[in-house]
Amino acid sequence: MDVRSLLLVLAVLAVIATIVFSITWSERKSRMDRDRIAKALGFQPIEELDRELSSRLMDLHRHTPMQELKVQNVSEQIDGSTRILLFDLIDHGGDSVSTLVSAGIAIFSTRLHLPRFSLIPRVAEKGRIAGFANNFLEMLIEKRSNRIRLGANVHFDERYFLLGDEEASIRAFLDTYRLSRLSQSTYRHLEADGDCFTYSRFVFASSTKRNLRVDLKRDIFEARALLELFSD
């Protein structure tokens, strides 16, 4: 290999190394910023979540047996019989690593007795692209046998897909008041079962830069509001 070819190879390797370092550093800085903000909001980092809770979070979000899920970046806040977790959920299955849930919130509480259900948000914007996105999402969901159409609140039906196996229990739980409250929001993704639910928000492109502190405070506030809404 001549000197020119060697320099070209070294230059390409240097560019690749710079890109990898930049991505790694950006992700690390984002985690450090979130940990700092979470601590200021009263959360304490957990080095490793216990196996039972970790398994429950993964089971709530597992859709195919091919997924290799892992709960990471966990912080907690304990308030009496209620335990609130901030977490990321990573899928290591397949050829690439993907983040399924970023800065999700899980609430475990003895005040909760929830049927197993999933709340999947539709795209709330108007227009052809949003329509295509919702039609595609509905096509995927229609392949699952556990979609529930309540038909009791038009705003709720416009904003969410509801999935679950115990339809009678879900219908009884999601009464008129709870549906009305849920229909006032957009882009909430909820997974619920027993004494636990997880909350995360689908975030789409925005012309304004997101504020992590504001987002976390808002999401924690909304998750606590859902705890009150869902409690017996």
Is residue 162 situated within a structural domain?
no
Number of structural domains in the chain: 1
Would residue 105 count as lying in a domain? Answer: yes
Domain that residue 72 falls in: 3-109
In a domain, 223, yes or no: no
- Domain assignment of residue 41, yes or no: yes
What is the pTM for the complete model shown?
Answer: 0.79
| CA–CA separation, 44 and 172 (whole Å) | 36
Task: Please give the pLDDT value at position 5.
Answer: 52
- Indicate whether 191 belongs to any domain: no
Q: State the pLDDT at residue 21.
A: 41
Is residue 219 assigned to a domain? no
Query: Measured between alpha carbons, how far is 75 from 69 in angstroms, rounded to an integer?
Result: 18
Query: Which stretches of the chain score pLDDT less than 70?
Result: 1-32, 94-95, 124-125, 127, 130-131, 142-145, 203-210
Per-residue pLDDT of 39-70, as tens digits, reads 888 899 998 889 999 999 999 998 777 788 99
Q: In the numeric block, which tokens belong to residue 230?
A: 């869902």
Q: Is residue 92 part of a domain?
A: yes
